[in-house]
Amino acid sequence: MRLLLLFLLLTPLLGRAQETPHALLWRVEGKGLAAPSYVVGTVHSRDARAYGQVPALLEVMPAVDAVAGELDLTALAPSMELAQAMMLPSGTALADLYGKRKLKRVKATLEKQLGPMAMVGARIKPFFLMSMLAETVMRADSDLVLDQYIEHKAKAMGKEVLGLETMQEQLAVVASVPLQEQADMLYELVANDMHRKDLERMMEAYAAQDLDAILRITAQGGLSDGFSKSLLTDRNRVMAQRMDSLMTGGRSFLFAVGVGHLPGEGGVLSLLRAKGYTVAARPAVPAREH
């Protein structure tokens, strides 16, 4: 499911830009909680800049009872279900979704960026091809994407690791997008050179812990209202509800979710406040070896 997680980096965020403290780690208190929980905004990247808030995470993780990501990445393994979900329906090929000119451009980019993997690209859904292409233009300074690092670190500390969602729920979001709409998004990505400059600007904004800048950068892109609703608005509500249920169960958590789920009126920070919690930015701590 790493491909779906990675694509969140390219997703337009919902909600108005507003003055937000520069922070990726947020403390959640109140509503009778015996101990605070935390929410951290992550990026699904191995870029060294993704790891800037790790020192702060290493300070709070020993005190929480468990870590919850979007998915439990420590338990995921390749499966027939995922492989089948990635493939186009029987009898459908990428060539059926484009005219000759666009198909030629898409195939040329797949061959250049994916090498031998491009041979199977004609049978993969465009959404997953977008994720594969995006991964090729991102820096790979670490062995693990940040989400995996956090969860593996938690396991090493003896913490329980769980997911706020299931793989089936995330796959259902992708399945809800018509194939032609996916194909149009793939072509837009190819036509704009994988948005390399925007990805670079976004990683710089993430390193600066600037949620407002991330909102401005990603809002320049465009998904359909329906997909944005499925990908963010609806999932934010589910995540916030599940965070609430977990915290009111008496344990404390570090919730690690894609940074796109945090800001805005429909983001999980605002939704948790609406449920009666006090949510405040936790100051960064100096970097150190992780």
HSE toward the beta carbon, residue 144, CA cutoff 13 A: 13
pLDDT of the residue at 219: 65
SS3 content of the chain, % helix, strand, coil (to 5): 55, 10, 35
**Could you write out the DSSP letters of every residue in 79-116?**
-HHHHHHHBPPTT--GGGGS-HHHHHHHHHHHHHHHGG
Please tell me the predicted confidence (pLDDT) of residue 284: 54
The helix or strand, by DSSP H or E, that contains position 253, with its residue range, turns out to be strand 253-258
Candidates 232, 213, 231; CA nearest to 17 is: 213
Those residues with Cβ within 8 angstroms of residue 249's Cβ, 6 or more apart along the chain or in another chain: none
Phi, psi of 280 (to 5 degrees): -135, 150
HSE (side-chain half, CA atoms, 13 Å) at 282: 23
Query: What per-residue confidence (pLDDT) applies to 81?
Result: 86
Q: What is the number of residues in the chain?
A: 290
Q: Evaluate whether 267 touches 15 at the Cβ level (below 8 Å).
A: yes
Residue 108 region by backbone torsions, left for phi larger than 0, else alpha for psi between -120 and 50, else beta: alpha
Q: How far apart are CA 263 and CA 21, in angstroms?
A: 11
User: What's the pLDDT at 10?
Assistant: 42
The C-alpha atoms of residue 19 and residue 172 are separated, in whole angstroms, by: 34
Query: Cα dihedral sign for 163, 169, 171, 176?
Result: negative
Per-residue pLDDT, 135: 85
pLDDT tens sequence for the chain (290 residues): 334 444 444 443 333 444 678 999 999 999 999 999 999 999 989 999 999 989 999 999 999 999 999 999 998 877 788 889 999 999 999 999 999 999 999 999 999 999 998 988 889 999 999 989 988 888 999 999 999 999 999 999 999 999 999 999 999 988 988 999 999 999 999 999 988 888 898 899 999 999 888 877 766 655 566 767 778 889 999 999 999 999 999 999 999 999 989 988 889 999 999 999 999 998 655 444 44
Q: How far is CA 46 from CA 30, 51, 138, 249, in A?
A: 34, 8, 8, 33
Helix (H) or strand (E) holding 133: helix 126-136
- Which pLDDT score, from 0 to 100, does residue 264 have? 83
